[in-house]
């Protein structure tokens, strides 16, 4: 209780510093570039310091900061638009995944497994650590586009507009990202659970 | 057989459905295939789990 009160009465700049590493984690995951992530988090801190009165008591400080960070991340993506969508050197592995999943006649090589009780899995914090690690393993350009959709919750049309992507190009990137994530979760979470 | 789809085609449609509206013919073809296939419904449930996981993850990220 004392520590909670201690944080509550801290000066605003100290409270913000407490959340910096948390914000950096999400900025890094979305932007895949340390310098861009630093920029987005610094801008978030400056915005919070310049208008602390707009925080008031309407939400938790962290919720408020994450809300600001999302806007700052979109600003960075907009400024760096030409670099954001550069194709990754490592390729996207889409064809290899297809070849692993399906036989030549279009049937599954191995039937998809049941993932157990999803509600139970989604109550596990550890599951989300694995989910984040899987998102982090996506190639940089694909990961940025995918998280614009899933973390920033931007509509497809807006992502196309911001990054000057064709809808076809965007859907191919999202498609491959989803298949990679599914594969990663299957191997690193659901497969292990079935085996244990 | 305008509505016949392979499992590979259906998996592509199921993933695409996460990000955009499918044309009517594809929606019908998908429904027919899922009703008759023993493998694809499990893939559909996996995608649903992922969709719910990302919703929950967004919520956790702001808690």
More confident residue, A48 or A8: A48
**C-alpha to C-alpha distance for A130 and A134, rounded to whole angstroms:** 6
Cβ–Cβ below 8 Å for A112 and B63: no
> In the listed set A79, A106, A136, which residue is the last one of a domain according to the structure?
A79
* pLDDT surpassing 90 at residue A24: yes
Residue of chain B nearest A60, judged by CA positions: B63
Q: Which residues of B touch A62 (CB under 8 A)?
A: 62-63
- A14-18, A48-52, A81-85, B53-57, range with the lowest pLDDT: A81-85
Q: Say which CATH number the domain at A191 has.
A: 1.10.10.10
Q: How many CB atoms lie within 10 A of CB A65?
A: 24
Cα–Cα nearest to B3, from B27, B20, B38, B37 = B27
Q: How do residues B2-61 score in pLDDT, each as one tens digit?
A: 677 999 999 999 999 999 889 999 999 997 899 999 999 999 999 989 989 988 888 777
Task: Provide CB contacts within 8 A for A79, sequence distance 6+.
Answer: none
Q: Say which CATH number the domain at A6 has.
A: 1.10.1740
B51 touches chain A (CB under 8 A): no
B17 touches chain A (CB under 8 A): no
Is B2 within the bounds of a domain?
A: no
Cβ–Cβ below 8 Å for B46 and A121: no
Is B26 within the bounds of a domain?
A: yes
Do residues A154 and A148 lie in contact, with contact meaning Cβ atoms separated by under 8 Å?
yes
pLDDT of residue A68: 93
* pLDDT surpassing 90 at residue A76: yes
Domain containing residue A135: 84-195
Candidates A118, A129, A132, A194, partner chain B, best to mutate (most B CBs within 10 A): A118
**Overall number of domains in chain A:** 2
Task: Say yes or no: A103 and A122 in one domain.
Answer: yes
Q: How do residues A146-187 score in pLDDT, each as one tens digit?
A: 999 898 989 998 899 888 889 988 988 898 899 989 889 989
């Amino acid at each position: 209780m004392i520590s909670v009160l201690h944080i509550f009465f801290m000066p605003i700049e100290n409270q913000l510093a407490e959340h910096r590493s948390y914000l950096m984690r999400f900025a890094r995951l979305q932007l895949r570039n340390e310098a861009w992530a630093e920029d987005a988090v610094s801008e978030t801190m400056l915005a919070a310091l310049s208008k602390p009165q707009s925080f008031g008591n309407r939400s938790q400080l962290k919720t408020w900061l994450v809300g600001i960070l999302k806007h700052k991340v979109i600003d960075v993506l907009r400024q760096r638009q030409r670099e954001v969508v550069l194709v990754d050197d490592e390729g996207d592995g889409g064809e290899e995944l297809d070849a692993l999943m399906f036989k030549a006649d279009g049937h599954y090589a191995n039937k998809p497994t049941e993932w157990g009780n999803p509600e139970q899995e989604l109550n596990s914090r550890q599951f989300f650590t694995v989910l984040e690690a899987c998102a982090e393993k996506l190639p940089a350009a694909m990961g940025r586009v995918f998280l614009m959709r899933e973390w920033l919750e931007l509509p497809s049309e807006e992502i196309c507009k911001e990054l000057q992507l064709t809808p076809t190009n965007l859907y191919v990137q999202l498609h491959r990202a989803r298949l990679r994530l599914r594969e990663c979760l299957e191997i690193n979470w659901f497969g292990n659970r079935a085996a244990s | 057989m305008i509505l016949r789809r392979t499992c590979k085609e259906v998996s592509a449609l199921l993933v695409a459905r996460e990000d955009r509206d499918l044309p009517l013919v594809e929606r019908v073809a998908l429904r027919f295939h899922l009703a008759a296939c023993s493998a694809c419904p499990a893939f559909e449930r996996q995608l649903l789990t992922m969709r719910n996981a990302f919703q929950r993850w967004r919520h956790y990220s702001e808690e």
